[in-house]
């Protein structure tokens, strides 16, 4: 399944940092997100786009994960030559990660 099957995303950006949040539709699916959507996996998913570190913050009371991605916006939204490469586009791409539920 895709992450988008069990969660939605929100995004924000400031300078060259993209801040993405995944929020489970159902609190019961939060553990699945937490187990499979790691900082390392997000960094690998955005290889070639994110040139700095990725930090993950867990918000279990909200059923959410927050990812702070440094060096993700080509110097910043107003400096980047990329077309629409800011947080909203990245949050949509984050929802495209595959989760293999057979491993659970």
Q: What are 2-36's pLDDT values in tens digits?
A: 999 999 999 887 778 888 999 999 999 999 999 99
Determine the pLDDT at residue 60.
96
Q: Which domains occur in the chain, in start order?
A: 3-103 (3.30.70)
3-class DSSP state for residue 20?
A: strand
Q: Determine the average pLDDT of the residues in 60-82.
A: 78
pLDDT band for position 93 (50/70/90)? Answer: confident
Q: Pick the closest to residue 17 from 73, 95, 89 (CA basis).
A: 73
Under 8 Å CB-to-CB from 95, ≥6 apart: which residues?
Answer: 2, 3, 4, 7, 8, 9, 22
Determine the pLDDT at residue 62.
96
**Residue 37 and residue 3 in contact, taking contact as beta carbons nearer than 8 Å:** yes
When mean pLDDT is compared across 23-27, 36-40, 44-48, 57-61, the lowest value belongs to: 44-48
- The total number of residues written for the chain in this structure: 104
């Amino acid at each position: 399944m895709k992450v988008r099957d069990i969660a939605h995303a929100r995004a924000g950006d400031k300078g060259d940092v993209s801040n993405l949040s995944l929020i489970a539709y159902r609190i019961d699916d939060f553990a699945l997100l937490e187990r499979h959507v790691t900082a390392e996996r997000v960094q690998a998913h955005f290889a070639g786009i994110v040139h700095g570190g990725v930090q993950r913050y867990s918000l279990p009371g909200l059923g959410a994960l927050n990812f702070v991605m440094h060096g993700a916006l080509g110097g910043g939204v107003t400096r980047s030559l990329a077309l629409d490469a800011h947080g909203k586009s990245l949050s949509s791409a984050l929802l495209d990660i595959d989760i293999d539920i057979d491993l659970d």
